[in-house]
Amino acid sequence: MSDHIPVHLSSSSVYPENAAYCFDLAQRLGYDGVEIMVWTDPVTQEAGALRALADLHELQIGAIHAPTLLLAQRLWGWEPWGKIERALDLAAEVGAQCVVVHPPFRWQRGYAEGFVEGVAERQARWGVPIAVENMFPWRSGARAMQAYLPGPDPRDFPYGAVTLDISHAATAGMDALEMAQDLGDRIRHVHLGDSFGSFKDEHLVPGRGNQKCAAVLQHLTDTHFTGVVSLEVGTRRLKTPAREAALAESLAFARQHLGQHDLPGAVLRQP
């Protein structure tokens, strides 16, 4: 572990570009490592390929995000625990610090009934933290549907490790700083992205919304956080120069508010 809080780039932040591009961009911009979202890109599913890219670019792999998203329901089969176990195997093989998972969807009732216990049991068996992510209700107009079981707020459950996602907190109408304070040292991983608190999960460049991104980063520094801050920023509609500028800006924001003024990427280069 480095003597500063590592700042990583999630491969979801470069979608629809692939993992190889993510590693290359992370190195060029000055990130400390990457978070791998397991996706249809075969490299994201192959430990040897990921280790080779990490070695080539001299970067860490901080987390494996299991394919538990709605659009990844068929990836690695339909059995949810099988997905998590494969993600744990992958994390162990590449030296990732944790596996990020979403709580079950409400229609996955059998999976949800034993989710809290199943997470704890597998975390103990693999020796890799399973960091359950905070989520949000699905809304349409004035109507809201609770989409996740046993619930979207990890403060309500005895998970040993949690991923704090600032954009998700905003979409749920929650205060991310308050959530960070409540969770304490259970936070293992952080997804940094901004929002205006709309019903849409925005994942904006930090500083471009109105969330307490800077305050959360300062809190992590003050409490000697030992996990990873991963930029999870939506760029899929941007062309390459704009995407790279947005992710450079994101890194500079994180470095500034973590007090990492002398590290790579802390100062934005003029085009």
98 found inside a domain: yes
**pLDDT mean over 72-78:** 80
157 found inside a domain: yes
264 found inside a domain: no
Global pTM reads 0.95
Predicted pLDDT of residue 1: 46
Predicted pLDDT of residue 270: 63
pLDDT tens profile 102-119: 999 999 999 999 999 999
Which residues are within 8 A (CB) of 222 and not within 5 positions of it... i.e. 6 or more apart?
Answer: none
Q: What is the DSSP string of 163-207?
A: EEEHHHHHHTT--HHHHHHHHGGGEEEEEE-B----SS---BPTT
- Give percent of the chain with pLDDT exceeding 90: 87
100 found inside a domain: yes
Predicted pLDDT of residue 271: 54
Query: Exposure of 42 by Cβ count < 10 A (0-12 exposed, 13-18 middle, 19+ buried)?
Result: exposed
32 found inside a domain: yes
**pLDDT mean over 165-190:** 97
- Domain of residue 210, residue span: 7-257
Binned at pLDDT 50, 70 and 90, residue 76 comes out as confident
How many domains are contained in the chain? 1
Predicted pLDDT of residue 147: 87
270 found inside a domain: no
pLDDT tens profile 191-227: 999 999 888 889 999 999 999 999 999 999 999 999 9
Assign residue 80 the CATH number of its domain.
Answer: 3.20.20.150
**pLDDT mean over 41-55:** 98
Binned at pLDDT 50, 70 and 90, residue 141 comes out as low
Binned at pLDDT 50, 70 and 90, residue 140 comes out as low
Q: Is the pLDDT of residue 2 over 80?
A: no
Separation between Cα atoms, residue 147 and residue 257, nearest integer Å: 33
Q: Point out which residues pair with 194 in neighbouring strands.
A: 204
Helix, strand, or coil (residue 250) = helix
pLDDT tens profile 18-43: 999 999 999 999 999 999 999 999 99
Predicted pLDDT of residue 158: 98
271 found inside a domain: no
